[in-house]
Amino acid sequence: MGMTVRIAVSLPDDVAERLAREPNVSRFVAEAVRQQIRRERSMDLLAQAGYVFDETDIEAGQQLITEHLGSVSPELAARADERLSRWKRR
């Protein structure tokens, strides 16, 4: 396992209330950030493939992706990220 870093953040009340229900807040936040990273990588790859849409229209963009490429499970996305990382290191 990699190194960990303690970070203090200020959050809106609704977000803090949701996190208060989590038994392991660090794990929950780490996974949420990892999902965002995967989303950003996916958006970059899609843009390279010619699928470009505005951040404000993300729902329509997701629908377009689903229609063109089909649904991608979180497991499949993680495997794709792993393979892409290995490919980029070459």
Residues 6+ apart with CB under 8 A from 80: 72
> Is residue 50 left, alpha or beta, with left meaning phi > 0 and alpha meaning psi from -120 to 50?
left
What pLDDT does 14 receive?
95
10-residue stretch averages of pLDDT, the chain, 90 residues long: 88 96 95 87 78 70 67 72 70
| 66 lies in some domain | yes
Does residue 2 sit within a domain?
A: no
pLDDT of 81: 76
Domain count, the chain: 1
Cα distance between the two ends of the chain: 23
Closest CA relative to residue 69, chosen from 89, 87, 90, 50: 50
Please give the pLDDT value at position 66: 67
Identify whether 62 is part of a domain: yes
What pLDDT is attached to residue 55? 66
The whole-number pLDDT of residue 70 equals: 58
Q: Which domain holds residue 69?
A: 25-89
Q: Which pLDDT score is estimated for 1?
A: 59
Q: Is 13 domain-assigned?
A: no
Q: Is residue 4 part of a domain?
A: no
Q: Is residue 63 part of a domain?
A: yes
And the tokens for 26?
């660090």
